């Protein structure tokens, strides 16, 4: 498994993957960026940088996350949420065919190993509140603001 660490506007992103695909992207507060990015991770790093620059709304990567079959079903459903849109945990549970699975869906969402690429940040509470984000709510808010079609203008 190859690794790379790059600086992003939200901290350092640590990538892991191999010839079978991208296994994880996680955000870490403290790390040292790596000078050399392994070839198998270069496209993922490039696409994430494009996302932060505002030039990419979808990712075209081979994904190979580790998880249970249920977790993978949840992560696949997350991929269907368009850029700039949100869904609630309840809506996601209904989409997966079991409204009673809301806690299991939330737990699987929290175990998402592919930060931003599998957009778990687009899941919010039924009342619109920003809840439950492993990367911290400040990052979730930043990501949703970044993807928002309506940009807040400064008064000054």
Active site residue 152: no
87-88 vs 123-124, strand pairing mode? parallel
Selecting among 120, 123, 124, 143, the annotated active-site residue is 120
Would you name the residues annotated as active-site residues? 120
């Amino acid at each position: 498994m190859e690794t790379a660490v790059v600086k992003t506007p939200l901290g350092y992103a640590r990538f892991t993957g191999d010839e079978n695909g991208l296994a994880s992207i996680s955000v870490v507060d403290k790390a040292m960026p790596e000078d050399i990015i392994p070839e198998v991770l270069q496209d993922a790093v490039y696409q994430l940088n494009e996302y932060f620059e505002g030039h990419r709304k979808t990712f075209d990567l081979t994904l190979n996350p580790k998880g249970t079959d249920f977790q993978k079903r949840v992560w696949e459903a997350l991929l269907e949420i368009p850029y700039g849109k949100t869904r609630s945990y309840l809506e996601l549970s209904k989409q997966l065919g079991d409204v009673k699975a809301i806690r299991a869906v939330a737990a699987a969402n929290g175990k998402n190993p592919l930060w931003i690429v599998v957009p778990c940040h687009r899941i919010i509470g039924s009342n619109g509140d920003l809840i439950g984000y492993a990367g911290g709510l400040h990052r979730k808010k930043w990501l949703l603001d970044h993807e928002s079609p309506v940009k807040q203008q400064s008064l000054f």
